[in-house]
Structure 1
Amino acid sequence: PVIVANDDAINNINGAVGAVDVLDAMANDLLNGQRASLTQTAITIINPATSIGGGLVPTLNPATGKVSVQAGTPAGIYTIAYQLCEQLNPSNCDQATITIAVDQAPIIANDDGVSNINGASGASNVLDVLANDTLNAQLA
């Protein structure tokens, strides 16, 4: 039977928090015109994602067909190449690529100000510039 492994893409994954099982690589793969299953096919990773600056990378679990992005994965575009083969006829295979776009955590630096400081005597520690800034919607 004809086997078709289709390319997949996922965007807007926040690398700071990651995402577990964010994509099912087999959701659009076919065996004999029907959705492929892991009972009839097997996944082999041909090329895993390449690290950016030595950081974490998205992964494809061959046992489930699911892609996960670990918390702390650097922003960038990652690709994973895999091969889907029929278990009954192991030479019946097709390859596909998964593209994962990991975004930076949003940073919001708000303006700060302080007033009523006596210039003659001065003051120290009058303002915490991080008190109203956020990284990934959390106070910095």
Structure 2
Amino acid sequence: MKNDELDGRTPQTTTDVYITPGVFKDNNNNPVDYFTFDTTTGKITIKPHTPNGTYSFSYTICKKGTSECADPAQVTIKLEAVEAVDDDYSATPVNTVGGAKIIGNVLDNDRYQGGPAIDHKDRVVVSRHSGDDRIEIKSTGEVIVPQGMPAGTYELTYQLCLKESSNTCDTAKITVVVFEDKPLVIHNGISADGDGHNDSFIIEGIELYPDNNLKIFNRWGVLVYEKDGYRNDTEPFDGHSNGRATINASSKLPQGTYYYILDYKDTTGKLQQEKGWLYLKY
């Protein structure tokens, strides 16, 4: 009653007024029995195990002994005890030749009563809703791709629920990309003239091996470029130094032959190395 008015004032108690309650309804306008309303105090109590959702309720305050009533009031209640958020792991494809891989935990971005669900594993539980049964979704949120999973893009859904209430749940989607082992294809010609063709050092397939380190040396063995986690689409080598050895950052390197060493971990975690030459021209 704190924001209600009758006769231009806010009633503090029900000494002089009475409350006529309506019916609690869900978002589909169906009556529900998840709440109680105290007509003597105006307080609404939410029953345990009430599902997530939006609920509405109306009531009217009237002056005792008269037919004088305030306009009907509408109450909207939105419950989000748990919130499941989609998990897209496609930016980090996995390969399971060397064994099963834990690719993440869906609780990392889910919510429990407005806070991180990962901090309340004892209060929530995760279960599969749909998708390929070979990909395991543990009750604690870990997503495990089994050894030998065929290459492809997989979409699954899961439910996040309160442990004490199987009715209080939310659903989200998981996207997983599994790739096959592919040999790297290294292009050793760079024509950094800005025409959009061969303007940078391209290593086909490097995105499948994100744990990598690339070093490029000039013909005197001076390190002119180094990059951890080299990618073709993020700051690739285009004939400019990135500030190694005695060469200033962003310095345009002379045209000519250079030498590269690429160290990377394969899908089994074993360290591999590729090395060779590349030719830079403008």
TM-score norm. by structure 1 comes to 0.64
2:98 match: secondary structure = coil
Q: 1:94 aligns with which of 149, 162, 170?
A: 170
Q: In the alignment, is the contact (CA less than 8 A) between 1:60 and 1:80 conserved in 2?
A: no
In structure 2, the partner of 1:117 is none
Aligned mate of 1:20, from 89, 101, 118: 101
Q: For 1:34, give the aligned amino acid.
A: G
1:127 aligns to what?
none
Aligned to 1:126: none
The 2-side partners of 1:5 and 1:48 are apart by 16
Q: Deviations over 1:57-84 (max 9, x none)?
A: 322112x210111221110011221111
Letter in 1 for 2:88: A
Q: 2:128 matched to which residue of 1?
A: 45
Q: Which residue of 2 aligns with 1:6?
A: 85
Question: Are the structure 2 counterparts of residues 100 and 18 from structure 1 closer, same or farther at C-alpha, using a change threshold of 3 Å?
Answer: farther
RMSD of aligned alpha carbons: 2.5
Q: Tell me: higher relative CO, structure 1 or 2? Use CA pairs within 8 A at least 6 residues apart.
A: 1
Q: Say if 1:4 and 1:31, in contact at 8 Å, map to a contact too.
A: yes
Which residue, 124, 138, 155 being the options, matches 1:79? 155
**Residues of 2 paired with 1:38 and 1:47: CA distance?**
22
Q: Quick one: which amino acid aligns to residue 44 of structure 1?
A: S
Q: How much does 1:16 deviate? A: 2.5
Identity %: 28
Unaligned runs of 5+ in 1: 51-56, 110-134
Per the alignment, residue 137 of structure 2 pairs with 60
1:14–1:47 CA distance, 2 compared to 1 (3 A): same
Q: What SS does the corresponding residue of 1:14 show, helix, strand or coil? A: coil
2-structure distance, mates of 1:103, 1:77: 9
| 8 Å Cα contact 1:48/1:59 also seen in 2 | no
1:104 corresponds in structure 2 to 180
Give the total of aligned pairs: 106
1:18 offset after TM fit, Å? 4.9
Three-state SS of the structure 1 residue aligned to 2:94 is strand
Return the index of the structure with the highest Cα Rg. Answer: 2
Q: TM (normalized to structure 2)?
A: 0.34
Structure 2 residue runs of 5 or longer lacking an equivalent are: 1-78, 186-265, 273-282
1:1-32 CA-partner distances (Å, limit 9, x unpaired): 51110010113112423553211011000011
**Equivalent-residue separation in structure 2 for 1:61 and 1:88 (angstroms):** 18
Tell me if the contact between 1:75 and 1:101 (Cα under 8 Å) persists in the aligned partners. Answer: yes
